[in-house]
Amino acid sequence: IGLRDDPIQPLVIRANIGDCVEINFTNNASGGDFGMHIDGLAFDAQNSGDAVGRNPSSSVARGQSRTYRFYVPEDDTFEGTHYVRPGPGNRDAVSHGLFGGLAVEPRGSTYHSPKDLSPIDSGWEAVIRPPGKKAFREYVQLYHEIGNEDYDVVDAAGAKLPRVDPTTDSYRPGARAINYRSEPFMRRLERPGAEDEKAHGYGSYTFGDPATVIPRGYQGDPTKIRILHAGAEVFHIFHLHGGGIRWRLNPKADPLFDYQKTGLDKNPEEGAGSTRLDSQAFGPGESYDLEIEGGAGGVQQGAGEFLFHCHIIEHYVSGMWGFWRVFDTRQPGLAPLPDRVPLPTAVDSAGLVGRTMPDGTTITQANLDDWIRPQLPPQGVPADDQDAAVWDWKTDERAAGAPVYLGEREDRSAWANYTNARDTEKLDGHPSLMAGDAVARLEGETVDRPKIRFNPSNGRPAFPLLRPQVGKRPPFSPNKHSGAPYLGETGNVPSGAAPSPFAGRQDGICPSGAPVRTFNIVTIATPVPVAKPVPGNAGVDAGGQIFVLAQDVEDVLAGRKQPEPLAIRANVGDCVAVTLTNRIPDAAVDRGFSKTNLHIHHVQFDTQASDGVSTGLSYEQSVEDYPTADPQLAASAGPGSRTLSLTDASKFQPGVAIAVGQGTEEIEIRTVESVSANTVTLTEALDKDHSAGHSAGTEFVQSRWYADVLMDNVFWHDHVDGIHGWPKGLVGQLIVEPKGSTYHDPVTGNQIRSGALADIRTTSPLATGQVEGSFRELALWTINGNSVSDSTVNLRAEPWANRTAVDPDPSVLFSSWRHGDPNTPLPRAYTGDPIAIRTINVGTTLDTLKVDGHRFFRENRFLDGENRTKATPTDTVHYGVSERYTAILDGGAGGPEQRPGDYLYANGIGRRFRQGAWGLLRVLPRRVGDLQPLPGREPNA
């Protein structure tokens, strides 16, 4: 039974604004009398389904029936999911699934099956047709725990699941669920031979589709995701991947937002103010309506898998995840929205012949290979199931309209995770293929290959290109591990004489002419000094792991530069080009497998290769440690050279992409033309010098991001092993600054490329009415779970105990006269300097950030008609992992009264404060030699 039609799912029913809801309820359950209550609607006390206070009981005994009436008031703000549950005394039954949702839809809406648009009565997935407005797809997701926290979850055979997953260390595998379904990584990684597949826990290529919900849609479909916390045990934080696929915190406060406006948008409306979110913390009983900007595929209009999960890492590793599958061609079993032009049906390669492509090429049998080959991973037979450099595709030269391009041989191995039909329809008799696939068998082969499908309108491989191959690592993306294999790296690239499949693309990730900022990022293992040394404790996390710019690797490893989470910056309208390599040795990490990747939020990107996570049928986006996995240069190579002499060239095949100088700022990416013994010849010459001993190989990925709007600070992090990696430091942020900004060291004034403390020199407003020119900036992560101190800011801590051991007097606990300045970041500013704290939570519970003596706004661009801020200021915010705030201090440093002095900032959770997650903001009354003034601001002499 596929999940879509599975009768075992939470009951989701629907009503419209202004409707009377009449429920004929029969109790057939054992275990007592039950009623049915709907939260947030109007009802008579006799009709409430429970017995609260002096209200009469309205539950019914087993075998009995009654009718309940609820009323949806005439008010648009009632739209959304309302919790359906029995009386509140039945908490235990609720924790085992006695709950559902009533989705309130716009006035007069009708509800339809996503399969064929027939009317439906219930179900988590629906097509909603409101009169006078565009139809939208609706996905109702109920997040919940299984049982209470003392309950032992059992498997299908009745055996208790472990409290701690032996494959990942995650707590309570199988107990974190969406719509009664859980897909703990444990269930995937326990497959024999899966030890090196931890990076592919979300991968359908390696493990098949998960048991959890897979909403499906077509690019540009208007979409509302309605989330409800139906459990009662712990908070969750909904997070949706995919970059420019965001929603408003407060859509009704943003008159410029309209769910109906979908499709490609490289310059989205900055909006009247409500903040764009891709993470939302929610607790028991809370629900949110996420109206997706740009619709399915986001404003960048990608096709592919858009992962969603609770961002609390132990929750998603324990099963609370799924993905939204967005197609670019029409699929069996998924009806187009009734008011949208249907996408084309995919064709095989022969079906492209005679069509004219966006670059002006008319496809012929003669130029077909020039068109298709650059869009596929390099052709070759992988050396083993971990060889991601090639993909074993073929052409059938005997077929009608030959050549016809075929994918890998279908995997017919028996693996329970994809032998069931799940949300994506399967091809009968071919458990790993999709409905709509056609197969061919090559001479001499004993199994079929699926014909590769193409979008006939643009000649791209239709998503998904890949089909499951159980236990294998997926291939890297084509076009040199491009970050944008589907959308293209750059928009509107001019065409040439030859066929150029990446030319003429309106949806190329970066608009042509956008400035490109390049960051070569390396993950390294390095000791991190977390706390000041005290007798008996050096305060060093010997197992630290961080992202670092390649240019800084040697300085960090040599102790010349303090290790910290990586903050990088780009301006609105900039294109960011990233290479990622990994030099964390296997021996340095949990279970001896050190792969890393880099997942970013919020910016526009191509989810098929820049998400960081190889979700579903995406390309490989994680990398092994290159010093082990790849060879080194046996002799130096320099500009103009096309040959590489390597310590071992046996892993390379013609056509594969090779990064020369992995882990260095000089990294260059080329294509292998030929291999002879240990010499590799490249198709293009090198531009830079590379020393003997430097590495060259296939373990690298490229990402491409477009910072389309002023979205403030953006979280990024490793997504392979957050349980172990985030507390050690594998987190970062991209800060999107106003147009025209430059970034400077506050001490020297020199321009900088990274770092938590920066002066931002600009003439563009950060937030109208608050900061309209240059400002000072602190990137601040509250990172918890570190082995030196459970609570840190930016991997640094100033534990109270270290101070009270010296002087137990609490009245001077925070005195720098008594104890010196704390070890934590210490931003400095002159009175009145504009200052912004860019903060992100990296913990497993909710934390608060408090800034003493100052206030700031949760929403910085929530303005009235006269451009005055309408938001309410606060001095403390709470946030869960991945939630971020830009705290622009009202009145600047020293507040509206412009008072100099030292001000405390701290994590407000008592034990975290005591463990050292606090620091000082120093507001200086007059000019000092080692702090540059901001342009246009003259400090007192």
Residue 315 lies near Cu ion (rule: CB under 5 A)? yes
As beta bridge partners, residue 379 has: 391
How far apart are CB 280 and Cu ion at their closest, in Å?
11
- Region from 311-319, 738-746, 838-846, 900-908 binding Cu ion, contact rule CB under 5 A: 311-319
> At 726, which amino acid appears?
W
By residue count, the chain amounts to: 941
Other Cβ atoms closer than 10 A to 788: 24
Residue 568 lies near Cu ion (rule: CB under 5 A)? no
Whose Cβ is closer to Cu ion: residue 825's or residue 880's?
Answer: 880
- Region from 19-27, 34-42, 310-318, 601-609 binding Cu ion, contact rule CB under 5 A: 310-318
How far apart are CB 320 and Cu ion at their closest, in Å?
6
How far apart are CB 901 and Cu ion at their closest, in Å?
40
Token pair listed for 280: 């939302």
Other Cβ atoms closer than 10 A to 121: 7
How far apart are CB 309 and Cu ion at their closest, in Å?
8
Q: DSSP states of 287-310 as a string?
A: EEEEE-TBSTTTTTT--EEEEEEE
Whose Cβ is closer to Cu ion: residue 709's or residue 731's?
Answer: 731
Q: 163 by DSSP, 3-state: which? A: coil
Residue 142 lies near Cu ion (rule: CB under 5 A)? no
CB 109 within 8 A of CB 136: no
- Region from 235-243, 445-453, 622-630, 733-741 binding Cu ion, contact rule CB under 5 A: 235-243
Whose Cβ is closer to Cu ion: residue 282's or residue 391's?
Answer: 282
How far apart are CB 318 and Cu ion at their closest, in Å?
9
Region 448-477 residues binding Cu ion, contact defined as CB under 5 A:
none
Q: 3-state SS string over 835-896?
A: EEEEEEEECCCCEEEEECCCCEECCCCCECCCCCECCCEECEEEECCCCEEEEECCCCCCCC
CB 575 within 8 A of CB 706: yes
- Region from 40-48, 203-211, 307-315, 915-923 binding Cu ion, contact rule CB under 5 A: 307-315
Residue 310 lies near Cu ion (rule: CB under 5 A)? yes
How far apart are CB 235 and Cu ion at their closest, in Å?
7
- Region from 22-30, 52-60, 234-242, 280-288 binding Cu ion, contact rule CB under 5 A: 234-242
> At 364, which amino acid appears?
T
As beta bridge partners, residue 228 has: 142, 287
CB 97 within 8 A of CB 180: yes
How far apart are CB 203 and Cu ion at their closest, in Å?
21
How far apart are CB 733 and Cu ion at their closest, in Å?
22
* 108 vs 126: CA distance, rounded Å: 15
Whose Cβ is closer to Cu ion: residue 173's or residue 697's?
Answer: 173
Residue 343 lies near Cu ion (rule: CB under 5 A)? no
Whose CA is closest to 775, among 574, 571, 573, 935? 935
Residue 172 lies near Cu ion (rule: CB under 5 A)? no
* 262 vs 294: CA distance, rounded Å: 4
* 356 vs 268: CA distance, rounded Å: 30
Region 833-862 residues binding Cu ion, contact defined as CB under 5 A:
none
* 404 vs 433: CA distance, rounded Å: 18
Instruction: Give CA angle at 373 (370, 376), nearest 5°.
Output: 155
Whose Cβ is closer to Cu ion: residue 296's or residue 310's?
Answer: 310
- Region from 50-58, 65-73, 228-236, 435-443 binding Cu ion, contact rule CB under 5 A: 228-236
Residues 6+ apart with CB under 8 A from 69: 20, 21, 22, 23, 43, 44, 47
How far apart are CB 277 and Cu ion at their closest, in Å?
16
Residue 236 lies near Cu ion (rule: CB under 5 A)? yes
How far apart are CB 547 and Cu ion at their closest, in Å?
25
Token pair listed for 392: 């074993």
With CB under 5 A, what is the number of residues at the site for Cu ion?
4
Residue 522 lies near Cu ion (rule: CB under 5 A)? no
* 514 vs 52: CA distance, rounded Å: 61
- Region from 231-239, 390-398, 699-707, 748-756 binding Cu ion, contact rule CB under 5 A: 231-239
How far apart are CB 223 and Cu ion at their closest, in Å?
22
* 174 vs 181: CA distance, rounded Å: 9
Whose Cβ is closer to Cu ion: residue 318's or residue 824's?
Answer: 318
Site string for Cu ion, 619-658 (x = CB under 5 A): ----------------------------------------
Site string for Cu ion, 260-299 (x = CB under 5 A): ----------------------------------------
Q: DSSP states of 689-701 as a string?
A: -B-TT-BEES--E
Residue 312 lies near Cu ion (rule: CB under 5 A)? yes
- Region from 306-314, 394-402, 565-573, 919-927 binding Cu ion, contact rule CB under 5 A: 306-314
Phi, psi (degrees; rounded to nearest 5) at 483: -75, -10
Whose Cβ is closer to Cu ion: residue 236's or residue 430's?
Answer: 236
Chain CA centroid to CA 762, Å: 30
* 907 vs 898: CA distance, rounded Å: 24
- DSSP state at residue 383: S
Phi, psi (degrees; rounded to nearest 5) at 185: -55, -30
- Region from 27-35, 145-153, 200-208, 302-310 binding Cu ion, contact rule CB under 5 A: 302-310
Whose Cβ is closer to Cu ion: residue 315's or residue 430's?
Answer: 315
How far apart are CB 168 and Cu ion at their closest, in Å?
15
How far apart are CB 282 and Cu ion at their closest, in Å?
9
Token pair listed for 421: 């039909």
How far apart are CB 225 and Cu ion at their closest, in Å?
16
Whose Cβ is closer to Cu ion: residue 120's or residue 227's?
Answer: 227
Q: List residues near Cu ion by CB under 5 A.
A: 236, 310, 312, 315
